[in-house]
């Protein structure tokens, strides 16, 4: 894919720089390069949506991505007045998912100011049906490898991010249920895991080092929902009933509305009562002897209070659908449909461009299927956080990771040892890693450690395609190129399909 000059410029803009740059963009009503159509401008919330939206809009418009190269769209926060900048364009394409709270906030503000702006808000997830989503709680991991019996001993580590609501399956955690609790004596302990559980026991949000995966279900007006906060410190489940020196707090940050929600905290239970329709944000904080031990202020959770919110709760849906080329085609068609409402005269162009790009996605799908058919292995090792569950489900391979639910925390020596044992048992030669977890061009120490202490000899990057790198921009890589030139070769080596 050859990027146009406008697309290359759009890739490198910071959120603060966007405001100045936006004035250089063609305004709605300006003629494009002799096409006779009005130029459609807008923002797409992160790299895949930016790439796909520009593929769909083609020569009749241009969209920008506010997220810098080297960063991912989830857990990201814009700088400057991005809402005002977006409001000066025609459309905002985003995922209505709690992993992109900042984008949800922008969409809500744009919709609230609908009378003062003509910007269209396009939820690209509208193209994905409820049945196609994976549950955050891991109910549908999609693996059924009969020949992986000897790998079962590793499931509590490799699937920690997928089954973190099933504590009964974690024998090593059960050993700590009654040991060490209340034995802290006021010492400061590192909080490693924080999960929000619904009243039915489902995990609705999970803290990942500096951001949340998941979100909070809508709160009904004049009604309430209850969340249980599960914490783990130093490898042990933390009970605030047994540790009287520690207590949990929940608060609305200073820059969010305090009118829509009422909070009640009792031990590790938080009740959210809806006052009036609207949205706000929520920060959790653990304090010990009045000193903060952990808080989530780096990524406040968005809370929606709605008159039609149901009292029942559902598990959070994993939003990483952009990794699955089949579901990606559904997202692309949703973008085309949304743009057709923005610029009806160009609807045929958007549809044709979407269909043409869907054919490229189908080619990627075929390459994945051929890879798995040729592979000698059904399991690979990823030295990092597994964001690839949609690929795993679609094509029937498995990624094992020694990293637990928080990629910011180092895995234990035991978890690393079990991973090394798996590598040697399966004859795995190549260890995969996420290039976004380290500075560009570097390899994570965990991947190097596994190679040094096992029979593996190589490392290879596996990108979650949630962002881009400066060097990839220089090569003109879009979503397809990241898959074809990086992920497919890396998986081919890791699964021995060469």
pLDDT tens across 245-284, in order?
888 999 998 888 888 899 989 889 898 988 888 888 899 9
| pLDDT band at residue 222 using 50, 70 and 90 as cut-offs | confident
> Does residue 152 sit in helix, strand or coil?
helix
pLDDT of residue 75: 64
Q: Which fold has domain 166-314?
A: Immunoglobulin-like (2.60.40)
| pLDDT band at residue 115 using 50, 70 and 90 as cut-offs | low
Spatial CA neighbour of 231 closest among 162, 180, 305, 185 = 180
pLDDT of residue 386: 82
Distance CA 345, CA 343 (A): 6
Distance CA 129, CA 331 (A): 10
Structure tokens that stand for 374 in this block: 């040729």
Q: Strands 134-135, 120-123: parallel, antiparallel or unpaired by DSSP? A: unpaired
**pLDDT at residue 154 is higher than 60:** no
With a pLDDT cut of 70, the percent of the chain lying above it is 76
- When pLDDT is averaged across residues 286-315 and rounded to a whole number, the result is 76
pLDDT of residue 171: 41
- When pLDDT is averaged across residues 5-12 and rounded to a whole number, the result is 38
Listed in order, the ranges of the chain carrying CATH 2.60.40.1080 are 166-314
Is the Cβ–Cβ distance between 176 and 236 less than 8 Å?
yes
Spatial CA neighbour of 76 closest among 108, 50, 113, 102 = 102
Which range of 219-228, 229-238, 311-320, 364-373 scores highest in mean pLDDT? It is 364-373
Residue with tokens 């054919």: 359
Listed in order, the ranges of the chain carrying CATH 3.40.50.1980 are 5-127+321-358, 375-494
CA distances from 172 to 4, 154, 237, 384, 406 (A): 53, 12, 11, 21, 17
The residue that leads in pLDDT, 86 or 242, is 86
Just give the CATH number of 5-127+321-358. 3.40.50.1980
Contacts of 469 (CB under 8 A, 6+ apart): 69, 70, 435, 440
| pLDDT band at residue 51 using 50, 70 and 90 as cut-offs | very high
- When pLDDT is averaged across residues 129-153 and rounded to a whole number, the result is 51
Distance CA 81, CA 422 (A): 49
Q: Among positive and negative, which fits the CA dihedral 179, 181, 187, 189? A: positive
Q: What is the pTM of this model?
A: 0.67
DSSP H helical segments within 396-463, as ranges?
Answer: 413-426, 445-452
pLDDT of residue 460: 97
| Residue environment code for 20-45, b if the CB has 16+ CB neighbours within 10 A, otherwise e | ebbeebeebeeebeeeeebbbbbbbb
Structure tokens that stand for 434 in this block: 């996420």
Q: Picking from 22-31, 291-300, 340-349, 403-412, which range would have the lowest pLDDT averaged per residue?
A: 22-31
Distance CA 358, CA 38 (A): 25
Is the Cβ–Cβ distance between 405 and 160 less than 8 Å?
yes
**pLDDT at residue 221 is higher than 90:** no
The residue that leads in pLDDT, 15 or 310, is 310
pLDDT of residue 38: 59
Q: Picking from 20-34, 180-194, 279-293, which range would have the lowest pLDDT averaged per residue?
A: 20-34
Which range of 236-240, 399-403, 492-496 scores highest in mean pLDDT? It is 492-496
Q: Picking from 172-186, 303-317, 455-469, which range would have the lowest pLDDT averaged per residue?
A: 172-186
Distance CA 124, CA 335 (A): 6
Strands of the sheet with 61-64, listed across from one edge: 61-64, 40-44, 91-94, 120-123
Q: How many CA atoms lie within 13 A of 107 on its CB side?
A: 20
The residue that leads in pLDDT, 41 or 235, is 41
Question: Average pLDDT of the chain?
Answer: 79
pLDDT of residue 237: 83
With a pLDDT cut of 90, the percent of the chain lying above it is 42
pLDDT of residue 9: 37
CATH architecture of 375-494: 3-Layer(aba) Sandwich (3.40)
Distance CA 159, CA 319 (A): 17
> Does residue 314 sit in helix, strand or coil?
coil
| pLDDT band at residue 309 using 50, 70 and 90 as cut-offs | low
Distance CA 380, CA 422 (A): 9
Distance of CA 106 to the CA centre of its chain: 17
Is the Cβ–Cβ distance between 108 and 80 less than 8 Å?
no
Q: Picking from 170-179, 347-356, 457-466, which range would have the lowest pLDDT averaged per residue?
A: 170-179
pLDDT of residue 1: 39
- When pLDDT is averaged across residues 453-481 and rounded to a whole number, the result is 95
pLDDT of residue 198: 79
The residue that leads in pLDDT, 169 or 203, is 203
């Amino acid at each position: 894919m050859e990027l146009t000059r406008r697309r290359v410029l759009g890739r490198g803009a910071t959120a603060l720089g966007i405001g100045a740059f936006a004035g250089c963009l063609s305004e709605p009503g300006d003629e494009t390069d002799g096409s006779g159509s009005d130029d459609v401008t807008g923002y797409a919330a992160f790299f895949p949506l930016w790439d796909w939206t520009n593929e769909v809009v083609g020569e009749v418009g241009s969209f920008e991505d506010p997220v810098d190269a080297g960063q991912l769209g989830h857990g990201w926060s814009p700088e400057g007045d991005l809402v005002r900048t977006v409001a000066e364009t025609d459309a905002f394409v985003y995922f209505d998912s709690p992993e992109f709270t900042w984008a949800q906030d922008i969409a809500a503000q744009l919709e609230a100011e609908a009378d003062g702006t003509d910007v269209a808000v396009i939820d690209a997830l509208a193209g994905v049906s409820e049945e196609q989503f994976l549950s955050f709680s891991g109910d549908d991991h999609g693996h059924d490898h009969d020949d992986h019996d000897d790998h079962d001993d590793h499931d509590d580590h490799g699937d920690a991010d997928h089954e973190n609501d099933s504590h009964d399956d974690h024998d090593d955690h059960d050993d700590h249920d009654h040991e060490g609790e209340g034995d802290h004596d006021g010492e400061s302990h590192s909080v490693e895991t924080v999960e929000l559980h619904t009243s039915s026991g489902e995990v609705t949000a999970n803290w990942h080092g500096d951001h949340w995966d998941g979100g909070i279900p809508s709160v009904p007006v004049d009604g309430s929902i209850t969340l249980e906060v599960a914490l783990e410190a130093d490898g042990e489940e933390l009970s605030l009933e047994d540790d009287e020196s520690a207590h949990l707090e929940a608060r609305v940050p200073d820059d969010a509305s305090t009118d829509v929600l009422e909070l009640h905290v009792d031990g590790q239970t938080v009740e959210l009562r809806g006052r009036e329709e609207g949205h706000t944000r929520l920060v959790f904080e653990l304090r010990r002897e009045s000193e903060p031990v952990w808080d989530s202020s780096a990524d406040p959770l968005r809370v929606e209070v709605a008159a039609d919110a149901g009292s029942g709760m559902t598990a959070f849906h994993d939003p990483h659908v952009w990794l699955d080329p089949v579901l990606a085609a559904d997202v692309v068609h949703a973008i085309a449909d949304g743009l057709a409402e923005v610029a009806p005269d160009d609807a045929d162009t958007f549809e044709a461009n979407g269909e043409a790009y869907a054919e490229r996605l189908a080619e990627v799908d075929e390459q994945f299927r051929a890879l798995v058919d040729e592979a000698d292995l059904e399991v690979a090792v990823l030295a990092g956080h597994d964001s690839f569950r949609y690929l795993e489900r679609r094509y029937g391979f498995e990624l094992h990771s020694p990293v637990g639910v928080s990629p910011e925390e180092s895995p234990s020596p035991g978890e690393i040892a079990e991973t090394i044992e798996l590598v040697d048992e399966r004859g795995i030669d190549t260890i995969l890693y996420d290039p976004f977890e380290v500075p560009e061009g570097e390899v994570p120490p965990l991947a190097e450690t596994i190679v040094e202490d096992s029979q593996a000899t190589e490392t290879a990057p596996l990108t979650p395609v949630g962002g881009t790198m400066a060097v990839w921009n220089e090569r003109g890589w879009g979503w397809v190129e990241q898959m074809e030139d990086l992920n497919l070769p890396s998986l081919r080596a890791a699964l021995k399909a060469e």
